[in-house]
A and B are shown apart, each in its own frame.
Chain A
Amino acid sequence: GAVVSQHPSWVICKSGTSVKIECRSLDFQATTMFWYRQFPKQSLMLMATSNEGSKATYEQGVEKDKFLINHASLTLSTLTVTSAHPEDSSFYICSARDPVAAYGYTFGSGTRLTVV
């Protein structure tokens, strides 16, 4: 079945530094990928929609200059958290839409970011 690989699975970084999270579709091409954020004991909230070859579409309230999304190929989307702060600590998870898959959406395994 469709597989989305997300790396790293966890990362600890210092305040002020930047962190890049990768999301790869391994056996299918994903023209659209979604980035979600999940705070502890809360639901998944969409941050942005990543479209291959074009600018990402950000949800209201999400700072595009802080959460840089690049979707340069049909199999890779990256999310870079720039100048990270402790309040950015969260669980970030990507998903890709696989038109062939019976269920349509495949999720990465998530990245737990801790900013100290």
Chain B
Amino acid sequence: AQKVTQVQTEISVVEKEDVTLDCVYETRDTTYYLFWYKQPPSGELVFLIRRNSFDEQNEISGRYSWNFQKSTSSFNFTITASQVVDSAVYFCALSDQTGANNLFFGTGTRLTVIP
């Protein structure tokens, strides 16, 4: 069965600090997809990244970067030089290879960036 664990419930950082959000997953599938979503206070889910299980290359997008380690079943997310606008709940999620099934979400990490 699929499972996503985000052990950090809440994190507070001071603006301009770097912060890493951890995500550990479990799955029996050999092919799967991992996602990160941002949920600001307004509630909508903002897509950040999707990563195929065969692609272990780290990815950087502006101040965001992701570290996918298949050996440890982790898909961590780092925000560099955090800003107040980064304050939100961040969810890591997992889907199977078909994509026909739903996303399994972690419990989320609430990030607060203090000005």
Contact = CB atoms under 8 A, between A and B. Distances in A.
Q: Do A and B originate from a single complex?
A: yes
Interface of A: 32, 34, 36, 41-46, 49, 91, 93, 95, 97, 99, 102-110, 112
A36 B44 CA distance: 12
B91 A109 contact: no
Contact of A43 (B43, B91, B95, B101): B91
A45 B102 CA distance: 10
Contacts of B33: 104
B99 A102 contact: no
Nearest to B47: A103
Secondary structure at chain A's binding surface: helix, strand, loop or mixed? Answer: strand
A44 B43 contact: no
B103 A105 contact: yes
A45 B108 CA distance: 12
Contacts of B105: 43-45
Contacts of B42: 109
A32 B100 contact: yes
Given A32-B100, A44-B45, 13 more contacts: A34-B103, A41-B110, A42-B108, A43-B108, A44-B91, A93-B45, A103-B47, A104-B33, A104-B95, A104-B99, A105-B35, A107-B44, A108-B44
B44 A109 contact: yes
Contacts of A45: 105
A45 B105 CA distance: 8
29 contacts: A34-B103, A36-B102, A41-B110, A43-B105, A43-B106, A44-B45, A44-B91, A44-B103, A44-B105, A46-B103, A49-B101, A91-B43, A93-B43, A97-B99, A97-B100, A99-B99, A103-B49, A103-B50, A104-B33, A104-B50, A104-B99, A105-B35, A105-B99, A105-B103, A106-B47, A107-B47, A109-B43, A109-B44, A110-B44
Interface residues of B, number: 22
A68 B6 CA distance: 32
Given A43-B91, A43-B107, A43-B108, A34 B45 contact: no
Nearest to B6: A43
A67 to B, nearest CB: 15
A56 B26 CA distance: 27
